[in-house]
Amino acid sequence: MIYESIKMVFKVFKTNKLRTFLTMLGIIIGIFSITIIFAISTATQHSLTSQLSFLDDTSKIKVSITGSFDEETGTNIINIPSSEIFALEKDENIKKVDELVTYSYKEVDEMRQKEAEESSGMWWNSYQCQAITYSALDMSETSQLSLIEGRNFSQMDDINRLPFCVISTEIANKMLRKSNDVIGNTLKINNIDFEVIGVYSAKDTYYESVVYVLNSYAKYHFGQDIIPQQKYYQIEPISPDLKDTVTETVNNKLLEYLNSNEFFMEQDFSSYEDQLSSVFGIIELVFGGIAGLSILVGGIGIMNIMLVSVNERIKEIGIRMALGANSGNIKLQFLIEGIMLTILSGVIGMLIAMGVVYGVNQFISNSEFSESGFVLAINMVTTAKTIGFCGVIGIIFGIYPANKAAKLNPVDALRYE
Amino acid sequence: MIKLKNIQKKYVLSKQNSVIALNNVSLEIQQGEFVAIIGKSGSGKTTLLNTIACLDKQIKGEYFLDNILINKKKQKQLAKIRNKYFGFVFQNFNLLQKLTAYENIEVPLIYKKVPRRNRKKLIEEYAEKVGIKERLSHKPNELSGGQQQRIAIARALVTNPQIIIADEPTGALDEATGIQIMNILKELNKEGKTVIVVTHDIDIANQARRKITVSDGKIISDVKVGER
Ligand SMILES: Nc1ncnc2c1ncn2[C@@H]1O[C@H](COP(=O)(O)OP(=O)(O)OP(=O)(O)O)[C@@H](O)[C@H]1O
Ligand SMILES: [Mg+2]
């Protein structure tokens, strides 16, 4: 019965091709828009959160300590010894403490720099020299850095306090003007030679002008010239659920030594992520609502055309009733017509959307934006839901015309011309 | 088998204006009869036929078909009864234009819930019987009136009903074709089917073995003609 009804519906569509297409257009456009909106929204959201997560490792608590400014020396004095913060590792809830120290050292004058450049490679006079404990420099985890040449620090380097450094490609490029090989070359920082063991890429980020050295080395060899400018800690709880407890512990520890304005506990980005997704939720709701409205209008169009269809086919209904169709059969026939109209429209809209998504992705991957990580994707679950929604629209707007057809009296329907 | 008792059908057009299409009609038709219903236009022939065929439920009186009281039945049961007992042949054929001849004959089988694999044999059998087996893939508008009526007859027969209801089956056909169609109906009657034909044509009515004349919603004569 259902098979014959579907076959019949296709015959009806075939005899009224243009009318059927125009009726379906509203739903096609609606479904197309909804699909595209969700694809864009999820793609944008995804690429934004993935950018955020570069900066973010939500499992850790991040503290930066600037200390208090000392007018006499013109530098920051950090009152809390690193050992005190490392002592937190003994807390049962804390797994690991990592430290990153930024040193400032006295600026060298132009003359000395030039002299040094001529004599022995390069004099690096940036303020941005960060000393790091071995374990903190897991580059891929904490930042947007990725090692492209050489190697990272090892634990042995840290224990042996070796004068090694890891630099950015930007600094490496400057060095290359002097020599062909960056790895193994030396970089002078505060008159101390550091051997380059690794190069990372960090184009257009803060890290491109940073030189990493080992904290163990810097502490003992920079001497008086170099003063910690800022200390940055990452404290990792045993489990993510303990984050709040550990934050509390760390906060209390810091307050023993410092005023609250001398340190800054970084908010993690997960709250931004939440905000972001709620913003996108609103955007989806608004645009989805507009597209949904178009589906509603399309649905009304379908109801309208179905009523016309019922009227045109009164005679047919009469004949079918004479041949043994009951009103349930007639109702089913027209309901199937309504559902097929909407589901077919939904599928067509979806296919067009898929085509567009494929085209856009193809275009992006061939263009300069290919690295943006912006990829449109159609979620199959959403697709299934949307098609299901179309079916529901078909039932809602098909039920009235179907009932109207089913209620006809066979004699009257047969007499109808 | 068919038993009408004081059947009345009234069309109320407005408060003052109503048409009595059937006025206290009582009638019995036995299995295997060949009945012609004649009468002037507007006399109520079609209304009587539709009542017999269970197409109209808003009637007064009592109608028994095979001892089942029809006018108490729900539409769903009426549909089943129509499908089981009656085969319809109309003046203007009433084929479904979008369907092929084959699919037209298939329709009553669908509503009878005959499985698809069993339909083909039946359809071909009855198409053969009325002589249009070669035309099964054609749409109605590709066929002549006579061919269309044959398809309608095949469609009426395919469920093997006991009663054939024909409302002016030759009305839209030329004389020769009309005779062919009547011969098919007579043949069916010989095979044991009850045939009820409405007609204007006296010659055709004379071929029946019983002639019922209707006037103003009443049966004014009911004559049985002897075997010829
Ligand atoms: N739906 C209706 N509404 C109002 N009056 C109707 C309706 N159907 C039939 N009638 C009336 O009932 C009467 C009988 O009609 P019916 O169709 O049975 O006549 P008929 O004998 O078949 O005529 P014909 O030979 O022209 O087909 C007529 O007067 C007709 O006008
Ligand atoms: Mg009539």
pLDDT tens digits, one per residue of B126-141: 999 999 999 999 999 9
A232 & A129 share domain: yes
Domain termination site, one of A215, A238, A267: A267
**3 state DSSP class of A360:** helix
Distant-in-sequence contacts of B176-185, Cβ < 8 A, 24+ apart: B177/B144, B177/B145, B177/B146, B177/B149, B178/B204, B180/B146, B181/B146, B181/B149, B181/B150, B181/B153, B182/B207, B184/B130, B184/B150, B184/B153, B185/B34, B185/B89, B185/B153
Q: Report pLDDT for A190.
A: 65
A276 & A405 share domain: yes
Name every chain B residue with its beta carbon within 8 A of the beta carbon of A12.
98
For ligand 1, atom 22, the nearest C-alpha belongs to B46
A389 & A299 share domain: yes
Which CA distances in Å does B109 have to A409, B113, B204? 22, 6, 30
Q: Chain A within 8 Å of B96 (Cβ-Cβ)?
A: yes
Contact check, Cβ <8 Å, B110/A8: no
Our CA-based measurement puts residue A4 at a distance from the nearest CA of chain B, in whole angstroms, of 8
Our CA-based measurement puts residue A400 at a distance from the nearest CA of chain B, in whole angstroms, of 19
- Specify if B23 maps to a domain: no
Low-confidence residues in chain B, pLDDT < 70: 226-228
Instruction: Determine phi and psi for B212, rounding to 5 degrees.
Output: -110, 125
Residue range(s) defining the domain that contains residue A107: 57-267
Whole-number Å distance, alpha carbon A307 to ligand 2 midpoint, is 29
Domain termination site, one of A267, A300, A317: A267
Packing angle of the helix pair B101-111, B75-85 (nearest 10 deg):
130
Q: Report pLDDT for A153.
A: 80
Whole-number Å distance, alpha carbon B167 to ligand 2 midpoint, is 7
Please tell me the total count of domains within chain A: 2
Contact check, Cβ <8 Å, A326/B155: no
Q: Chain A residue with minimal CA distance to B79?
A: A324
A96 & A213 share domain: yes
pLDDT tens series, chain A, 417 aa: 888 899 999 998 998 899 999 999 989 998 998 888 888 888 887 777 766 655 555 667 777 787 777 777 666 677 777 778 888 888 888 887 777 776 654 444 444 455 545 444 444 444 345 666 554 445 444 455 677 888 888 777 877 888 888 888 877 777 665 667 788 887 777 667 788 888 888 766 666 667 777 777 776 776 555 566 677 787 888 887 787 788 888 888 888 887 777 777 765 555 666 777 788 888 888 888 888 888 888 899 999 999 999 999 999 999 999 999 999 999 999 999 999 999 999 999 999 999 999 998 888 888 777 666 677 888 788 888 888 888 999 999 999 999 999 999 999 999 888
Distance between the two ends of chain A, CA-based, in angstroms?
27
A133 & A237 share domain: yes
Q: Report pLDDT for B62.
A: 93
Contact check, Cβ <8 Å, B56/A409: yes
CATH number at residue B170: 3.40.50.300
- Specify if B143 maps to a domain: yes
Contact check, Cβ <8 Å, A315/B155: no
| Rounded-to-integer distance, Cα A80 and Cα A277, Å | 39
Contact check, Cβ <8 Å, B107/A315: no
Residue range(s) defining the domain that contains residue B155: 31-46+85-224
Handedness of CA A19, A21, A27, A29 (dihedral sign): negative
Handedness of CA B90, B220, B40, B9 (dihedral sign): negative
Reported ipTM: the value is 0.95
Q: Report pLDDT for A284.
A: 80
Q: Report pLDDT for A141.
A: 45
Contact check, Cβ <8 Å, B53/A322: yes
- Closest atom of ligand 1 relative to the A411 alpha carbon: 1
- Specify if B1 maps to a domain: no
- Specify if B118 maps to a domain: yes
Type of residue found at A293: L
Please tell me the total count of domains within chain B: 1
Whole-number Å distance, alpha carbon A244 to ligand 1 midpoint, is 88
Contact check, Cβ <8 Å, A324/B76: no
Domain termination site, one of A267, A287, A318: A267
- Specify if B111 maps to a domain: yes
Pocket residues: Cβ below 6 A from ligand 1: B 11, 13, 19, 21, 39, 41-47
A21 & A63 share domain: no
**Best of B23, B37, B45, B213 for a ligand 1 pocket test (most atoms within 8 Å of beta carbon):** B45
A167 & A82 share domain: yes
A80 & A43 share domain: no
Q: Chain A within 8 Å of B113 (Cβ-Cβ)?
A: yes
Tokens 């109207």, residue? A404
Name every chain B residue with its beta carbon within 8 A of the beta carbon of A337.
none
For ligand 1, atom 14, the nearest C-alpha belongs to B44
Q: Report pLDDT for A125.
A: 43
**Candidates A13, A17, A323, partner chain B, best to mutate (most B CBs within 10 A):** A323
Q: Report pLDDT for A120.
A: 42
